[in-house]
Structure 1
């Protein structure tokens, strides 16, 4: 019997929309970063930073829902999507690339809400003390992310926490084996188990599978080593803008222990939301919740008359239903 997902011809709200404009931003070391802008040029700005093995396409639901009210800026991390892999890779480069995007797409002094998922959240923490980030960040949403001990805390493998699980998890996440460009029934099942909640729909799984499978093996492996040794405690302490934290209650890659730690350490944490039944892919699994949090932060922390005029391009814990 064929898998019904094989006949899926549309991803619906997860189909990446066409941008208003596209640009290539040069980072500090010459890396070419692909960026997209969606929505009215004179609207308040929202900036989206995706996670490991993903791309701008991962934010399709948020872009579709927000672009009517906001200028949505999304970019591909180096080695992902339209941004070529450029050595070296590390937390400094994550911060460099975000700063370059902010400087190129926002007017001097213009504020934006910045949302980061997984490695995108780590990007925000890495950049927290940087001048350009501090110039432009009005508020932050951290989705399914952590600041340290990512591999030891991962529960992708159903083993007791300890050295054996940590070593095996590191080997899996850093595997040099290619995933392949086209999702299969087996790869979809593996992806769903490792990164999503059991209630994720076939459309959600397919959207995530297409994005993850498109990530080149070299980039996936290079960034896995960065994540394995991640230490961003100082970045958390420097992230002193209003910040909300969201995590899936059954997230195996960045379990809720990370979100709770962030909520306790952030200087201005507005709250932590744990979503029952949701895994690591919160913007896809709980798109309305993530979109609502971004819009609420914008309403509270961005002037409604914010415009992009004059910019130039340059080289408290709660549990909530995800329904």
Structure 2
């Protein structure tokens, strides 16, 4: 497997990325949930890299990518992906995003349809307003002495009790949040706050799979149902999971994604 590297974007921001899998395989971009790093895909990468050239990256503000101060936007985060693809010479790719990554995937599908082959939108929403709740979280992140309370809030939203009690699962995610730079978290919270693609996702033409968590309390099941109904010919698949479906059910997630990206098969809608 390849090692992680970085590129510097046009605005001077460095983005950490990693490539795995055969160089001649179809490219699959994996985009993270907020407050996680490219390691969130560790339980999936071995299986996915057998069939795809997998590109995963630390979203701006996260991990070993830079965290410039100020509000980010979904457009900016989407253009980060485009610059990364350009730098690596990838004209077109499949894209799979969870939560914030799913918002980025929607923007890409709407605005640069020629760059996206097939699109997987997992545990995400077209709109997560209203704004005041996000303003409060931004203020809290920037003003707190540490991100301990923020970490526990995220973990409680992401995992069922059995995984919260499993330190082998929960501890790495907690540690990632505690190491985050508040400016990076606040920047991405602003991007979520300002994103509203409810009227524009109908423009997405890429074949799309929407993965819905039956027990998701962040991006509710009805959010996924709305997306699947708005995008022409989209398929939906409900999984008995909370928010980080790829962590809670790695085998089921990889199977669903792999079958959808294989054009010779069709995922059964739920």
For Structure 1 versus Structure 2, the TM-score category normalised by the shorter chain is: 0.7 to 0.9
- Are 1:91 and 2:74 counterparts? yes
- Are 1:256 and 2:221 counterparts? yes
Q: How far off is 1:58 after superposition? A: 0.9
Q: How far off is 1:151 after superposition? A: 3.9
- Are 1:216 and 2:195 counterparts? no
**Contact 2:73/2:191 (CA < 8 Å) preserved in 1?**
yes
**Contact 2:109/2:206 (CA < 8 Å) preserved in 1?**
no
SS where residue 300 of structure 1 aligns?
Answer: coil
Call closer, same or farther: CA 1:68–1:210 in 2, change over 3 Å: farther
Highest Rg: 1 or 2? 1
- Are 1:275 and 2:239 counterparts? yes
- Are 1:139 and 2:131 counterparts? no
The structure with the largest helix share of the pair is: 2
Alpha-carbon distance in structure 2 between the residues aligned to 1:42 and 1:290: 24
**Contact 2:30/2:54 (CA < 8 Å) preserved in 1?**
yes
Q: CA RMSD in A?
A: 2.6
After superposition, give the CA deviation of every residue in 1:270-316 in whole Å (9 maximum; x if it has no partner): 2x22222x2111111121122112211332179xxxxxxxxxxxxx8
Alpha-carbon distance in structure 1 between the residues aligned to 2:34 and 2:151: 17
Q: How far off is 1:261 after superposition? A: 0.8
**Unaligned regions of 5+ residues in structure 1, if any?**
1-18, 153-165, 303-315, 319-323
Alpha-carbon distance in structure 1 between the residues aligned to 2:55 and 2:101: 13
Alpha-carbon distance in structure 1 between the residues aligned to 2:26 and 2:18: 15
- Are 1:20 and 2:2 counterparts? yes
Q: How far off is 1:174 after superposition? A: 4.9
Larger RCO, structure (CA 8 Å, separation 6 or more)? 1
- Are 1:196 and 2:159 counterparts? yes
After superposition, give the CA deviation of every residue in 1:13-44 in whole Å (9 maximum; x if it has no partner): xxxxxx51433233343322211101221222
Match of 2:29 in 1: 47
TM-score between the two structures when normalised by the length of structure 1: 0.73
Q: How far off is 1:195 after superposition? A: 2.1
Match of 1:59 in 2: 41
**Unaligned regions of 5+ residues in structure 2, if any?**
none
TM-score between the two structures when normalised by the length of structure 2: 0.86
Question: Which residue of 284, 300, 304 maps to 2:247?
Answer: 284
Alpha-carbon distance in structure 1 between the residues aligned to 2:111 and 2:88: 17
Q: How far off is 1:106 after superposition? A: 4.1
Q: How far off is 1:197 after superposition? A: 2.1
Number of residue pairs matched by the alignment: 263
SS where residue 175 of structure 1 aligns?
Answer: helix
